[in-house]
């Protein structure tokens, strides 16, 4: 009984943490956590303010809060992609980038070379939409970005400089390096024994699934 309720609570806490943010190129709209399991993260309509995106040597950046994840990217060459079908050809997903798999959380910058995929219609000047698909422990999550492909655009120095991978430290307490997790910092130095932290949902949500599994095992003994 105790185990069951703890498991439910921790699943909820992890669910909130598991959602990812598309940092670049900018998504269709503001991040809405509850809508991320929906098509394009809840934004079915194409936007008019498209990002000029390089045909070659581009990339996308995400912030991912759940370990053991995989990200792929679909593309639609329709100017107004508004359904999963718009990202398919003959019933098959059109991949712009196959799964990039990672065990850690953090910020990641993944190469996205449109030209090399030779997708019909994905040419200089085309209005396209990419849909980043993230599989990270609580089903698939989606974010879309509307782009205008360009063989001339230069990415700004800021955008270039931000393209790096920064993994969060994954061992020990205070594993979350995000300053936005309330409570995580204050409990990090309290010499806790794990079980004493079960009431601290923010900290729980920062723990990896592996650590959590170990805690569940301890509680169930
Ligand atoms: C487009 O405009 C919307 C609404 O202002 C904004 O949320 C979104 O980030 C913008 N997208 C880009 C690529 O600038
Ligand atoms: C691409 O979209 C922009 C913004 O909606 C629009 O102004 C432009 O005409 C479109 N280009 C093409 C080739 O459809
Ligand atoms: C990467 O993740 C995807 C989606 O979960 C999975 O289908 C694929 O087998 C994984 N690839 C590797 C090499 O682990
Ligand atoms: C970041 O990690 C991803 C996923 O493993 C990888 O595909 C990408 O090449 C890495 N990016 C950089 C800039 O090292």
Render pLDDT for 129-141 as a digit per residue (tens, 0 to 9): 999 999 987 789 9
More confident residue, 18 or 40: 40
The verdict on the CB of residue 189 being under 6 Å from ligand 1 is no
pLDDT beyond 70 at 175 = no
Confidence bin at 170 (pLDDT 50/70/90): low
Whether the predicted pLDDT of 189 surpasses 50: no
Pocket of ligand 4 (CB under 6 A): 100, 102, 108-111, 163-165
Between CA 68 and CA 115 the distance in angstroms is 29
| HSE-CB for 178 with a 13 A CA cutoff | 17
Of the candidates 180, 175, 169, 182, the residue with the CA atom closest to the CA atom of residue 215: 175
> What tokens were used for 139?
């089903």
Ligand 3 atom with the shortest distance to the CA of 135: 5
Beta-carbon-side half-sphere exposure of residue 148 (alpha carbons within 13 Å): 9
Confidence of residue 18 (pLDDT cuts 50, 70, 90): low
Q: Residue 107 pLDDT more than 60?
A: yes
* Cβ within 8 Å of residue 23, ≥6 positions away: 61, 62, 63, 107, 162
Minimum mean pLDDT among 18-22, 31-35, 84-88, 213-217: which range? 213-217
167: enclosing H helix or E strand? strand 166-167
Looking at every residue in the chain, the average pLDDT score rounds to 78
User: Where are the chain's structural domains?
Assistant: 2-220
- Pocket test of ligand 3: the residue of 67, 97, 101 to mutate, having most ligand atoms within 8 Å of its CB, is 101
Q: What is the CATH number of domain 2-220?
A: 2.60.40.10
Tens of pLDDT, residue by residue over 158-167, are: 999 999 999 9
Are 130 and 194 contacting, i.e. CB atoms less than 8 angstroms apart?
no
For a mutational test of ligand 1's pocket, the pick from 24, 25, 29, 144, i.e. the residue with the most ligand atoms closer than 8 A to its C-beta, is 29
What is the sign, positive or negative, of the torsion defined by CA atoms of 98, 104, 105, 107?
negative
Tokens of 195: 């079980």
48 CA: nearest ligand 1 atom: 1
Contact (CB, 8 A) for 151 and 144: no
pLDDT of residue 46: 97
Q: What whole-number distance in Å separates Cα of residue 62 and Cα of residue 171? A: 22
Q: Establish whether residue 127 lines the binding site of ligand 2, counting it when its CB lies within 6 angstroms of any ligand atom.
A: yes
Stated pTM of the model: 0.75
Kindly give the distance from the C-alpha atom of residue 207 to the centroid of ligand 1, in angstroms, as a whole number: 32
**48 CB less than 6 Å from ligand 2?**
yes
Atom of ligand 1 minimally distant from the CA of 25:
13
Please report, for residues 6, 92, 131, 133, 168, the alpha-carbon distance to residue 213 in angstroms, rounded to integers and kept in the order given.
Answer: 12, 36, 32, 26, 19
Q: Are residues 8 and 203 in contact, defined by beta-carbon separation less than 8 angstroms?
A: no
């Amino acid at each position: 009984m105790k185990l069951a309720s703890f498991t439910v609570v921790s699943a909820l806490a992890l669910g909130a943490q598991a959602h990812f943010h598309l940092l670049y190129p900018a998504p269709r709209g503001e991040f809405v956590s509850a809508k991320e399991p929906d098509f394009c993260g809840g934004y079915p309509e194409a936007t008019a303010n498209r990002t000029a995106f390089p045909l070659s040597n581009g990339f996308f950046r995400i912030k991912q809060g759940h370990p053991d994840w995989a990200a792929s990217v679909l593309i639609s060459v329709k100017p107004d992609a508004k359904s999963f079908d718009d990202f398919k050809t003959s019933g098959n997903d059109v991949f712009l980038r196959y799964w990039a798999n990672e065990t850690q959380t953090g910020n990641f910058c993944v190469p996205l070379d449109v030209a090399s995929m030779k997708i019909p219609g994905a040419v200089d000047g085309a209005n396209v939409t990419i849909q980043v698909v993230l599989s990270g422990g609580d089903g698939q999550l989606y974010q879309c970005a509307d782009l205008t492909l360009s063989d001339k655009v230069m990415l700004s120095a800021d955008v270039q400089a931000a393209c790096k991978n920064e993994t969060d430290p994954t061992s020990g307490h205070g594993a979350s390096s995000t300053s936005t997790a309330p409570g995580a910092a204050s409990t990090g130095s309290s010499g806790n024994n794990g079980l004493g932290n079960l009431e601290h949902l923010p900290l729980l949500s920062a723990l990896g699934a592996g650590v959590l599994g170990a805690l569940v095992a301890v509680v169930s003994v």
